[in-house]
Amino acid sequence: MQISLNELAKLLNGELIGDGAQTVHTVAKIEEGFAGALSFLANSKYEEHLYTTKSTAVLVNKTFQPAAPYNTTLIKVDDSYAAFTYLLEKFSNPSAQFIGFEPMSFIDTTAKLGNEVYVGAFAYVSKGAVVGDNSKIFPQVFLGTNVKIGSNCIIYPGVKIYHDCVIGDNCIIHASSVIGSDGFGFAPLPDGSYKKIPQTGNVIVEDDVEIGSNCSIDRATMGSTIIRKGVKLDNLIQIAHNVEVGEHTVMAGQSGIAGSTKLGKFVVVGGQVAISGHLQIANKNQFGGQSGVNTNINEEGKKWFGTPVLELRDALRAGAVTRRLPELLSRIEALEKELSAFKKD
């Protein structure tokens, strides 16, 4: 990135306060700034660094008013954090620079690839697969038969996307995740063994979804497992067959959802949360780490914690009681001794 501050302010529709002829060529934390770097200030607890930073320019919110002198150029924007993120995506994403097909990749003659697509070495694009404009398929990726990848997607090394699965636009899938493996469906037989139930559905991932590394999203037994628009999944997450994850839900690492559960929109799932199957979870509920969810939650916007989950306030009260159990046991034992002595008398 090499851009003048005048050009940068115009790009961001921002207000320039300072020398617009200067240029920046990289980014840096505001507390670690140096000449030629662009920083941003979004959290007030970092404001003190604005007055000492050596960064050439700093993005700030339009509402920000400095409380002391500073030695940098300010660019005021509606949302400094969002503007900084946009610049990182535009100028600092090396994945966007890859175009073309590397030797040792395989692309079936019936596959359809859009403009400015990249396919890395040892990637395999099966028959009938479709890859949209400007999408990047990194080495050792497998795209099964009739897989559809939207535009502006990044599929990192080692990802496996099984047959008939659909990935929307602007999606990112990190290394070694598996999309469309068979759901965990087995019918018990009279002799105690199990017979596999064919998993005939697929997985649909809508637009603007990011999936971390080493995640598994199982295909539906029938129909579709669906990851709705804007969902963000951390690493090491399990999504079982016929699950639906609502729009803009976020899930932290090592959490899992059992089959046929439906999560609403804007749900927040902490790390190592386990959600049982065939449940309905309403919009905007939040689950603390290591919680166990085994019941439907029909009210919106609640906070939950514990196993089995309780509303956060009740869970904290229960935790306080649990911590006192040794003391309470000692008191009960003492009372029992007093009662025993009283009976003997």
Q: How far apart are the first and last CA of the chain?
A: 90
Q: What angle do CA 125, 218, 175 make, to 5 degrees?
A: 55
Exposed/middle/buried for residue 163 (C-beta within 10 Å: 0-12, 13-18, 19+)? middle
3-state DSSP call for residue 65?
coil
Residue 345: the pLDDT is 65
Q: Does an H or E element contain 275, and which?
A: strand 274-275
- Whether a cis peptide bond, with omega within 30° of 0, leads into 308 is yes
- Do residues 56 and 24 lie in contact, with contact meaning Cβ atoms separated by under 8 Å? yes
State how far the Cα of 31 lies from the Cα of 36, in Å rounded to an integer: 14
The residues facing 42 across adjacent strands are none
Domains along the chain?
3-92 (3.40.1390.10), 97-316 (2.160.10.10)
Q: What is the pLDDT along the chain (345 residues), one digit of tens a residue?
A: 689 999 999 999 999 999 999 999 999 999 999 999 999 999 999 999 999 999 999 999 999 999 999 999 999 999 999 999 989 887 766 766 788 999 999 999 999 999 999 999 999 999 999 999 999 999 999 999 999 999 999 999 999 999 999 999 999 999 999 999 999 999 999 999 999 999 999 999 999 999 999 999 999 999 999 999 999 999 999 999 999 999 999 999 999 999 999 999 999 999 999 999 999 999 999 999 999 999 999 999 999 999 999 998 888 888 888 888 889 888 898 888 888 877 776
* Residue appearing with tokens 């990637």: 123
- Do residues 137 and 152 lie in contact, with contact meaning Cβ atoms separated by under 8 Å? no
3-state DSSP call for residue 5?
helix
Could you write out the three-class secondary structure of 166-183?
Answer: EECCCCEECCCCEEEECC
The residues facing 137 across adjacent strands are 119, 155
Residue 255: the pLDDT is 98
Alpha helices in 92-170 (DSSP H): none
- Do residues 77 and 95 lie in contact, with contact meaning Cβ atoms separated by under 8 Å? no
The residues facing 23 across adjacent strands are 4
Task: Give the CA distances from residue 6 to residues 50, 321, 324, in Å, rounded to whole numbers and listed in that order.
Answer: 20, 61, 63
User: Could you list the active site residues?
Assistant: 241
- Do residues 234 and 213 lie in contact, with contact meaning Cβ atoms separated by under 8 Å? no
- Do residues 28 and 58 lie in contact, with contact meaning Cβ atoms separated by under 8 Å? no
